[in-house]
Structure 1
Amino acid sequence: MPPPQEGKRAALACGGDVIGALPDDLLQHVLSFLPAQQAVRTCVLARRWRGLWKSVAGLRITGGQESEVTFVQELREFVNHLLLLRCRAQIDTCELRFAVVSDDDVPRVSLWIRHIILCQVRLLRLDISRDGYGVYFYVDNLPLASQHLTRLELIDTGLNDSFLDFAGCPALEDLVIINGCFVHVRTISSTSLKRLAIADSSFNQHARTRIYAPSLVSLRLEDNWDRTPVLESMPSLKAAFVRFIKESVDRCFYSDSWDCHNEDCQGCYDLQAVNSHDSVLLKGLSEAENLTLIDEHDTVCMF
């Protein structure tokens, strides 16, 4: 059998299948960048391609074109068969991006997520929305447990307390929560987390979320709504970026200087911190070597 390089030269000379001359691991790497539907369709190209998609390390399950991301019957059946036929083949990167229309599909999608976790996924991206204004897809209220997950990206998703307790994810280092996530939880907790970004998302208006991440080296809190979270001690913090916008309720509604002495002011008197001795941000930010604080509108409370 000729060496691979000679085989490719021969294929070129004869006008043959140059891509088919590539080794299986390289072909599977290429397939990992395709949406799962397209990757599976390659099974009809030739006998050699029939099973390549089953071991692809990158799994991208989307609900159609970017302008019409919809969870439809066809996608439901496709994913059920896809995960079944892959068995427990290892997954390096997985992206789930679609909209759930029916309440009946919510537990099904949660089961898919749990199956993917069992496949030792290292990077998991969830961009799962609900069909309808103000309706969120909520992942099930069970903690994640994975020895392999290193990066988790959550987009436009409703989040529960247990799901953001990462005691069972000792390798998790990156957490990204962006683009309209509903973060109405008591605690985000991880002892292994090194980089955290929460942007353009909603915290609870009536109770503060505590963030416990003692190993954090990078923090980004940007353009979030409602109550600013309470930061626990972050002794390893190198860089932090915090920007407040008008939608934050941690601001005085009646005065440009703290405080307005108006007991009806939600920002000054409703809930300044979890208790009178807690700081909101400064306890966590005090160790940062590089700190950026931006207030685009009014004076905010950091104590």
Structure 2
Amino acid sequence: MDEDEEKRVRAKRSGDRIGDDVDRLSDLPDNLLCHVLLNIPTKDVVKSSVLSKRWRDLWRDVPGLDLGYGDFPDYNEFVSFVDRFLGFNCESRLQKLKFEDRCLELKYEWDEPHVANVTRWINVVLKRKVQHVHVLESTWDVDKEVEIPSTVYTCESLVSLKLRDVILPDPESVSLPCVKVIHLDEVKFANDQALERLISGCSVLESLTINRNVHDNVKVLRVCSKSLLSFTHVGQCEENINDEDLVVAVDAPRLEYMWLSDHETDSFIISNLGSLVKLHMDVTFNLSSQKRFDPNDLQKRNVIRKFLVGISSVKDMDIASETLEAIYNYSRCERVPLLRNLSSLRAYFSDYRWEMLPVFLESCPNLKSLSLGFSKSPGEQPSSILPGHHCFLPTLEYVKIGKPMIDDEEAETKLVSYFLEKSTVLKKLTLFLNPDRKKEAPVILKKLLTIPRLSTSCQVVVSDTLTL
């Protein structure tokens, strides 16, 4: 008997005949099937009950709920289903509770009973040692917002807490020894201290995301954590209606990734970020076209200086045009602190104020990779990037200039020339064109190749495929 025939015989004996459709999934033990079903929305899990007798009641034993309010045409059906599910195996542990507004237009209105029901359900699952609580509401009526029960602050089994558009009460104490992930989207707090106690009460917290609400009752947001690895902070989408000085203070010695997108906060106090690897920075220190930088405002200058010193260990950075402008205005009063560890930078411009760029590059003495993205305002004229006093770029190896790029070919050439003539060890410069300029690529490349290069090994590339 040859090897192939022997394999066919073994397959036939085991019931796994070649060419036949065999239901191997149903042969798995219940606990393994329930673990698989736990990662599927509950609506689809229930549908599995029609597959066979083996699957009829299996959905009841899945240790979690993942429901969208839009999954039910009637609110009473939704309540009845959740109550029935939580009544099954009421002594067993639950791993996940997730309520989410998945539909664009709700089929029913929330009212006080709904708020009470969600609070009641959360209390039930907390007692059953739930690991993941995700309550992602969407309500525009402040009188119908769900208030999370205070028992959430002492759930020792909880691993992740994701909340949207709810109210968190003021805790007397917080003990969440297993929580690694917190995501708070437009959540309201009792005061500054309530949020601070929540964060500090999670001894193994690794990932924290906060999307602010103008009514969140937090003036000073303090993030103090010895375990935190990733922090995302998105500021209020509306103007600071109370005209208060908003502060974000971060003290996280193990932090590796930070995303700051906030035009309303006045001050960012950064401490102990020696491990910071990547930073996305879109902040203005509450400066705007209506509230411009004042060179005589020593307090604001001090805020910007201390912030730059606080992030000085970062290795990889994305920086927005508005942030570059704030730093550029500061640089006209004081020297920008050095970012000695920064090796990769992506900078984005909403206009052509390129004079900001060389000033910032001078503070990056070890930069190796630079990517530039542009968008053009109607009628905007490119500014000069070639003031003669700017120094060489001795470490820069790779430059990418992204689309949408300039209609003014002369300005485009000047920008490329700046890097070719100032970079001593440049290996590759790539210019990305808009698709409608694809046919121009050979002509543009020929022109760029005539520009003198300080680095003799530099390769110049023109492409219409953007990869910043």
Q: TM-score, normalised by structure 1?
A: 0.70
Closer/same/farther in 2, CA of residues 230 and 40 from structure 1, 3 Å limit = same
Equivalences for residues 1-303 of structure 1 within 5 A:
9=16, 13=20, 17-43=23-49, 45-65=51-71, 72-98=75-101, 101-130=110-139, 132=141, 136-162=145-171, 167-178=174-185, 180-183=186-189, 185-187=191-193, 188=195, 189-190=199-200, 191-199=203-211, 201-202=213-214, 204=216, 207-225=219-237, 226=240, 228-245=246-263, 248=265, 251-252=286-287, 254-258=290-294, 282=307, 285=310, 289-290=314-315, 294=320, 296=322, 299=326
CA distance in 1, matches of 2:313, 2:16: 56
Query: Which residue of the partner structure matches residue 264 of structure 1?
Result: none
CA distance in 1, matches of 2:22, 2:253: 60
Aligned 8 A contact 2:67 2:99 in 1: yes
Measured after TM superposition, the shift of residue 112 of structure 1 is 0.9
Aligned 8 A contact 1:11 1:18 in 2: no
How well do the aligned residues superpose, as a CA RMSD in angstroms?
A: 4.3
Gaps of 5+ in 1: 262-267, 273-277
CA distance in 2, matches of 1:133, 1:8: 60
Determine helix, strand or coil for the equivalent of 2:166: coil
Measured after TM superposition, the shift of residue 83 of structure 1 is 0.3
Measured after TM superposition, the shift of residue 70 of structure 1 is 7.8
Determine helix, strand or coil for the equivalent of 1:9: coil
Gaps of 5+ in 2: 1-9, 267-284, 328-468
Task: Please say which of residues 135-144 and 72-81 is displaced more in the overlay.
Answer: 135-144
Aligned 8 A contact 1:71 1:101 in 2: no
CA distance in 2, matches of 1:284, 1:120: 43
CA distance in 1, matches of 2:139, 2:12: 50
Equivalent residue pairs, number: 277
Aligned 8 A contact 2:208 2:231 in 1: yes
CA distance in 1, matches of 2:12, 2:173: 47
Given residue 75 of structure 2, which amino acid in structure 1 is its aligned partner? V
Q: Which has the higher contact order (CA 8 A, sep 6+)?
A: 1
What is the percentage of aligned positions where both structures have the same residue? 19
Aligned 8 A contact 2:60 2:88 in 1: yes
Aligned 8 A contact 1:182 1:202 in 2: no
Aligned 8 A contact 1:137 1:158 in 2: yes
* Larger proportion of helix: 2
What does the per-residue CA deviation read over 1:46-73, in whole Å, with 9 as the maximum and x for residues that have no partner? Answer: 44324422321342122125xxx88711
Determine helix, strand or coil for the equivalent of 2:154: coil
CA distance in 2, matches of 1:237, 1:147: 24
Q: TM-score, normalised by structure 2?
A: 0.48
Closer/same/farther in 2, CA of residues 81 and 286 from structure 1, 3 Å limit = same
Determine helix, strand or coil for the equivalent of 1:130: coil
